[in-house]
Each structure stands twice: as structure tokens, then as C-alpha cells.
Amino acid sequence: MLSMGSMMMVMPLGADLVLYLGMAPELTGYFSGGATLGAALVGLLAAPWLDRFNRRPALLLLLTLRFLLLIACSLVQNSQQLLILFILSGCVAGPLSAILMAAVLDLVPPAERGRKLAYVGMAFSLAAILIVPLSLTLSQWFGWQSPFLLLGGAGLLLVLAAYLLLPSLPVRQEPSLVGIWRLATSPLCLGALTVLALQMAGHFLLIPHFANYFQFNLAFPREQIAALYLCGGLASMATMRLCGVWIDGGRAQGAILITSLLLALVTFVGFAQPLGLPIYLLFTLFMALSSARSSTTLAITAAIPAPQQRAAFMSFQGTVTNIAAGLASLGSARYLQSDEQARLLGFDTLAWLNIACTLLACLGVVLLLRALKNSHNNNKSDKQVRQGS
């Protein structure tokens, strides 16, 4: 929650950075884009080595570095310095997320992963519910630096809690570089990474610009932005919990179809061909469906790697999604223009691209589920043959 919240808060804080640091409004995407691309690069470089270390000390080191850099963001004098430090903190987030998710998979049995990963996925919603509204409120009352100081300090307290509470997870089987290469080039892995890239690219074509779009294009009050993210986060928690139960009940395909198709519909009537829906309803539906779709996909793809390849797989997954998110953020920032009133021009075109990514990813998940089922059946048959021999 703290790590995601620190990444998320810069996007809705974009309007405040425009006012206090003199930043152009369309440049907000460069913060999320640069940080996610940095996370992708470091995650890719670290992937072959992450499964060689005990998860606990690696997490402690990366958490400390992540939040010290976040505190340093509050000391800058201009938007260029802020951008550099924020990207550096994002670089640490790549291997940090991979090791964290690998630890979760180590501790949770397969039959419970749908619900447990939904709980972990709620970190995104909790960040929207707590971190983003709190950051917006603090920025409004005490200045834009205050959210960075608060989250950085809370993160260092989290390091202490992790030191006291996290179990040791030593390496049980040394991963081989050949095995990791086979994993990365397998059809299942490549299919999963393609689906995740489509989902993340479509999402980040729009999400970095929502605060500016709502405030400057739709005249949504600045003081209600925090409440807007609160509603979106609460709805996301409910839908992710529901999808987690569906997945553990063997209804993963139904969950992905419902969330993806409804998300495409909401994007169409809300942004591609706007029908004037209430902004609270529009944003809440968009966030809830996006979060549920993402947590469902994560639970499905968690079945692909072997135990000794989990951190590497999560790092590959993080690299691809961060590259997709970063390129989409940077591309959308490059494409959008602003007029004299700071209104964003071209947002409807990005919405159409989002819909295309959503539908393609939906088809990809359905095909991936079939491939996973066939792979499981083949492995089961091979095992029976070996036992018979």
C-alpha cells in the first residue's frame, strides 16, 4: 500500500505541482512513465538473481532504499529534481515488488491463492482509499512536500515492522539460468506477459491524466478529488474480493470476461463517446473493474512458474507491465495537448485505444486459461505414466 501509494499520489497531485512548481499539466505522465520504466529496467537486470537470496533481508534493504529516496523528493527545488528522484525511487520498486510477490506465493497454498492474492491486490485500493486522499489533503493544507515526508517516514517504520514480523524464506533450490531462460521463452510465459502488457498499457493511457481531466476539462472541484479516489478504492476492494472467491471456485474465466467487457463499456460511455455520466459513478466503476480484472489476471498467471522461479517470473512480469505502463504514460503525455485553460485535448482518442487493449487482453486471458488447463492435464498424464512404469 505504501509503495503503490507513493507511486499513485503523484498523478492526482499533478494539479498542485502545476501550481507550485510551474510544471506543464501534460507532463504529469512523465513522472509515472519514468518511474515505471526505471522499475522495468532494474527488474529485468535483477531477475536472474532474485531467487538466489533469502526473501527477508532483500526486502528490508529495498524497502529502506525506496523510502529514503521518497523522503529526498520533499527536499527538491524544482520539478526536474523531483522527477529524477522519483524515477530513482521507482527503480527500486521493480525488484521490491518481485520479491514481495514471490514471498506471498511461497507462503500461500495454491487452493487459496485467488482470495489471498485478492487481499494483496487490495493494496492498490487501499492506496486509493487512504494514501491518495491523504496526500491530496496534506498537499492542500501543508504544501506538496508533506505527502512525500509522511509516506517516507511511514515506510521506514514499515522496515522495522518487517524486520520483526516477516519470516525467513531461505533459498531451497538454486535456480539455473537455463531454467529461467526456458521459463521466459515458454509460450505460457510469453502469453501471460503479452496479456499483462495490454492491460497495463490501456490503463496508463488514461489514469495519469484523470485528475487533470476531471478538474480542468469537466470542472470537477479540486477539494472533491480525494473523495473521488476514496469511492474508487472502496469499490475496488469489493470487486477484487468477489473475484478472488470466483477464482478459488473455478470461475476465473467468468470473472475475467465480466470485468473486461464491463470495463470496455464504461470507458466507451464515459470517455470515448461521453454520455455525461456522474463523475463519481464513472470513476468508481472504472477503478473497481480495472482492479478486479488485474487481480484476476495475477491469480491466473501465478500458476505458471515453478517455486524456484517465482521471483524471476514476478520480475519479468513487473518489467513488462512497467514498460507498458511507462510507454503508455509517456506516449499519452506526448500526444495530449492543453489549451489556455489547461484543458486536455485528445482524451477521447486515448479512450478508444484503451478499449482496444481491454478487448484484446480479454481474449488473451481466455486463451491462456485453456493453455494452462491443457498443460496441467499433460503434466498429470506424464506423472501417471511415470508412476505406472
| pLDDT tens digits, one per residue of 94-128 | 889 888 888 888 888 777 777 777 777 777 767 77
**Domain spans of the chain?**
2-379
**Residue 366 buriedness (CB in 10 A; 0-12 / 13-18 / 19+):** middle
Query: Helices 225-248 and 252-267, interaxial angle, to 10°?
Result: 150
What pLDDT score was predicted for residue 262?
96
Specify the DSSP element, H or E, that contains 323: helix 310-335
The phi and psi torsions of 250 (rounded to 5 degrees) equal: 85, 20
Instruction: Please check the confidence at residue 14 and state whether its pLDDT lies above 90.
Output: no
Query: Helices 310-335 and 187-206, interaxial angle, to 10°?
Result: 30
What pLDDT band is residue 388 in, cutting at 50, 70 and 90? Answer: low
What pLDDT score was predicted for residue 323?
83
The rounded Cα 107 to chain-centroid distance in angstroms is 21
What pLDDT band is residue 50 in, cutting at 50, 70 and 90? Answer: confident
What pLDDT score was predicted for residue 355?
96
pLDDT tens-digit series, residues 339-371: 777 788 889 999 999 999 999 999 999 999 888
List CB contacts of 65: < 8 A, sequence separation 6 or more.
Answer: 92
Instruction: Please check the confidence at residue 252 and state whether its pLDDT lies above 90.
Output: no
What pLDDT band is residue 381 in, cutting at 50, 70 and 90? Answer: low
Instruction: Please check the confidence at residue 174 and state whether its pLDDT lies above 70.
Output: no
Please name which of 214, 384, 185, 383 lies closest in space to residue 284, comparing C-alpha atoms: 214
CATH class in words for 2-379: mainly alpha
Please name which of 280, 279, 229, 268 lies closest in space to residue 354, comparing C-alpha atoms: 268
CA torsion 326-62-123-279 (nearest 10°) is -30
What pLDDT score was predicted for residue 291?
85
Please name which of 27, 25, 142, 162 lies closest in space to residue 86, comparing C-alpha atoms: 27
Please name which of 42, 159, 43, 34 lies closest in space to residue 101, comparing C-alpha atoms: 43
Instruction: Please check the confidence at residue 35 and state whether its pLDDT lies above 80.
Output: yes
Instruction: Please check the confidence at residue 258 and state whether its pLDDT lies above 90.
Output: yes
Nearest-angstrom CA–CA distance, 148 and 59: 21
What pLDDT score was predicted for residue 385?
46
The pTM for the full model equals 0.75
Nearest-angstrom CA–CA distance, 172 and 286: 42
Grid cell in block for residue 227: 473523495
CA-based end-to-end distance of the chain: 50
| Listed range (148-162, 175-189, 357-371) with the worst mean pLDDT | 175-189
